[in-house]
Amino acid sequence: MLRERIADFAGLVEPDRVRKEVYTDQEIFEREMERIHETVWIYCGHVSQIPKTGDYYTVQIGRQPMIMVRGAGGKVNVLYNRCPHRGNMICGDRHGNTGDQFRCSYHAWTFQHDGKLKNIPMMESGYNGTRFTRDNPDCNMKKAARVENYRGFVFASLAKDGPALKEFLGRSVVAFDDMCDRAPGGEVEVVPNCFRVIQHSNWKLFLENQLDALHPSVVHQSTGRAAHEVEKILARKAKGGAVPLSYHMLSAFATVTIDKWDDFQTINYPYGHCILTGYMGLRPQDPDTLAYEKVMEKAYGKKRMEEILGVNIHHVLVYPGLSVQSPLQQLRAVRPLGVDRTLTEIWHFRLKGAPEPIYRRSLAYYNLVNSPATLINADDLENFWKCHAGLASDGGDWVSFARHHGRDIEEKGVVSSGPKMGTSEAPMRNQMKAWAKYMHK
């Protein structure tokens, strides 16, 4: 049907531009959910969200309501949040503990944590001679086709075929390695709960913005300047003493000017993943950092500690639904709700075994940059809404990704932005290349 309506489907995406319908068309959205979000590996949550047997978290994968639950022997299951009887959602709450079984609130069918039917009220008399026998798999809650966990980060794929998680993630695993390795204990722990923001735009606008290195010093300049003014006053008062690092988190939006963002680099991988290198200098020589380095050195030895703390990434995008800032233990999961409505879950993590001030640093970044209360996030949200509204208009047909097009460096399927071209739109081109591949299959 879609092919009939949009005759040249392949023509929606060109190497340096994309048709506006890609963002605004309801049928394209439905196909994206089917071909992308309900097929590829999608992040469900972290194992520390469900530490005890029976703990569960509900999560949306594409259009499917799902439940991530801790079962017998510590196994993490991902099930469709649907009763096989008459379709009732099994869990109405966002999270909780279901005890030793799931019990449907409608007619009290009960299920194990792996979805297998336990009991139906008066099953013998009610179902004798019907198709609903205990060994009929239709009586069970349906499972996600595949579930895998990488260093505690749980992903599910609703398609039985496709690359294994490790192969799918490729080099983007650095997001999870970098985050976990920075913990002296080698693990992170989620900080309950997350912020949830619904933006009035297509989901792809969020992902494109994450590695858009040109926008921060424009969109967030006013906030950066204000923070920098205060930072200067505090520096004068401190007479050479340290100013809290949290001011730097905001002032960097003004002090790292557009031209400086060109010094960074984006590296783009198959499946649409992307890494933005460079960082705003988070290894100061203040007492908190030095104390942390001591703990890290004890845990890993000097050489390995230097390797870990020397990892130079600002942002990793795991297409199509995850944005990770590993040096500060931040993670945002993108859940499309409709063609013009997108939920983001904004999480942060604690490094196991790290001193408390290091956690406070992560919390400060979470609150100051990523939370819905900050001006940084608010400025982005305004642009998302405005972009979507403009794209839905008749004012033009194309979205341009031409910045530094033709200057990318490609080697063995990996595309890097050229030297001094950190603001290249290579990440958007790469995402759309992956998108087109999924959609045309």
Binding site for ligand FES (CB under 6 A): 83, 85-86, 88, 104, 106-107, 109
**Among 172-180, 238-246, 374-382, 391-399, the segment contacting Fe ion (CB under 5 A):** 374-382
Q: Residue 384, Cβ neighbours under 10 Å: how many?
A: 20
Contact by Cβ (8 Å): 360, 191? no
Considering beta carbons, is residue 43 or 109 the nearer one to ligand FES?
109
Token duo for residue 380:
């982005």
Residue 420's binding partner out of ligand FES, Fe ion, none, with CB under 5 to 8 Å set by partner kind: none
Residue 386's binding partner out of ligand FES, Fe ion, none, with CB under 5 to 8 Å set by partner kind: none
Contact by Cβ (8 Å): 312, 148? no
Residue 106's binding partner out of Fe ion, ligand FES, none, with CB under 5 to 8 Å set by partner kind: ligand FES
* Residues touching Fe ion, count (CB under 5 A): 1
In the bound complex, which residue of the shown chain has the CB atom lying closest to Fe ion? 380
Residue 320 DSSP symbol = T
Considering beta carbons, is residue 104 or 375 the nearer one to ligand FES?
104
Give 352's Cβ-side CA count (13 Å radius): 10
Cα–Cα distance, 328 to 313 (Å, whole number): 11
Taking CB under 5 A as the criterion, the residue among 380, 429, 431, 432 binding Fe ion is 380
Q: Residue 20, Cβ neighbours under 10 Å: how many?
A: 18
Residue 380's binding partner out of ligand FES, Fe ion, none, with CB under 5 to 8 Å set by partner kind: Fe ion
| 303: amino acid identity, one letter | K
Residue 104's binding partner out of Fe ion, ligand FES, none, with CB under 5 to 8 Å set by partner kind: ligand FES
Token duo for residue 166:
């490790």
Considering beta carbons, is residue 137 or 390 the nearer one to ligand FES?
137
Considering beta carbons, is residue 98 or 430 the nearer one to ligand FES?
98
Q: CB of residue 215 vs Fe ion: minimum separation in angstroms?
A: 6
Q: How many residues does the chain have?
A: 441
Considering beta carbons, is residue 58 or 424 the nearer one to ligand FES?
58
Q: CB of residue 213 vs Fe ion: minimum separation in angstroms?
A: 10
Q: Residue 167, Cβ neighbours under 10 Å: how many?
A: 11
Place of tokens 């060994």: 135
Q: CB of residue 334 vs Fe ion: minimum separation in angstroms?
A: 14
Cα–Cα distance, 9 to 441 (Å, whole number): 12
Instruction: Please tell me whether residue 425 binds Fe ion under the rule CB under 5 A.
Output: no
Indicate the helix (H) or strand (E) that contains 439: helix 426-440
Residues that bind Fe ion (CB under 5 A): 380
